[in-house]
Chain A
Amino acid sequence: MKIGLSLGSGGARGYAHIGVLQALEEAGIEIELINGSSIGAIVGGAWALYQDVARLIKITERLVREADVDYFNIFRYPSESRPFLRNWLVNALCDLSALRESILSHKDNLQALEIIFGSKRFCDTKIPFSSSALDLLAGETIVIKEGRLVEGVLPSIAIPGIFPPVERDGQLLVDGGVLADVPVRELRGEGAEFIIAVELGEEIEKEYHNGFDLLTYVDALKAQRLRQWELEEADFLIQIGLPDFDSMRFDNYEIAIVQGYRAARQALPGLLRRLDERGA
Chain B
Amino acid sequence: MSVEPEGITLVLGGLGVRGAANIGVLQILREQRVKIKKIVATGISSIIGAHFARGGDLEELTERFVHFFTENHRYLWGLERLGGLPPSRGRWLVGSLSYFLRESLFCKVNLKRPSLLPWELVEGNLKELFGNATSSELEIPLAISAIDLARGEEVLLERGRLVELVQAGIAFPGLFPPVRIAGREFSSSILYCELPLEGLGEEDRPIVAVDIPGRRSSTRPRSLLEIIAQVDELRRAALKRRLLTKADRVFCLEGLRRFPWGNYRRIPALISRARGEAEVLLSVAM
Contacts and interface: CB of A to CB of B under 8 A. Distances in A.
A222 B192 contact: yes
Contacts of A211: 110-116, 173-175
A215 B191 contact: yes
Contacts of A208: 149
Interface in B174-222: 174-175, 178, 187, 191-193, 216-218, 220-222
A210 B109 CA distance: 12
A174 B173 CA distance: 26
B235 A174 contact: no
A204 interface: yes
B165 interface: no
Interface string A215-236: 1011101110110010000000
A218 B238 contact: no
- For chain A, the bracket of interface size reads 35 or more
Interface string B242-279: 10000000000000000000000000000000000000
A206 B153 CA distance: 11
Interface stretch (B11-19, B71-79, B137-145, B224-232): B224-232
A219 B223 contact: no
B108 interface: yes
A136 B230 contact: yes
Contacts of B113: 210-211
Contacts of B149: 206, 208, 217
B235 A178 contact: yes
A36 interface: no
Given A210-B113, A211-B175, A98 B238 contact: no
The interface centre, meaning the residue of A134, A138, A225 with most chain B CB atoms within 10 A of its CB, is: A225
Interface in B38-79: none
A229 B242 contact: yes
A48 B237 CA distance: 33
Interface stretch (A77-85, A100-108, A242-250): A100-108
A11 interface: no
A139 B237 contact: yes
B234 A136 contact: yes
A111 B235 CA distance: 30
B191 A218 contact: yes
A161 B227 contact: yes
Contacts of B239: 222, 225-226
Nearest to A203: B152
B152 to A, nearest CB: 6
B224 A100 contact: yes
A226 B240 CA distance: 10
A280 interface: no
A95 B174 contact: no
Interface string A122-156: 00000000000010111100000000000000000
B78 to A, nearest CB: 12
A160 B231 contact: yes
Contacts of B222: 101
A134 B231 CA distance: 9
Nearest to B232: A219
B192 A161 contact: no
Interface in B83-134: 96, 100, 104, 108, 110-116
A179 interface: yes
Given A100-B223, A172-B220, A210-B113, A179 B238 contact: yes
Given A134-B234, A211-B111, A218-B191, 9 more contacts: A102-B227, A137-B220, A138-B218, A139-B216, A174-B227, A217-B149, A221-B154, A222-B235, A225-B239
27 contacts: A95-B104, A99-B223, A100-B223, A101-B224, A103-B224, A136-B217, A136-B231, A161-B227, A165-B227, A174-B227, A179-B238, A210-B112, A211-B112, A211-B113, A211-B114, A211-B173, A212-B111, A214-B178, A215-B191, A218-B173, A219-B232, A221-B153, A222-B192, A222-B236, A225-B192, A226-B239, A229-B242
Interface of A: 91, 94-95, 97-103, 134, 136-139, 160-161, 165, 172, 174, 178-179, 204, 206, 208-212, 214-215, 217-219, 221-223, 225-226, 229
Closest 7 pairs between A and B when the two form their complex, measured CB to CB: A211-B174, A214-B173, A212-B111, A160-B231, A211-B111, A161-B228, A215-B174
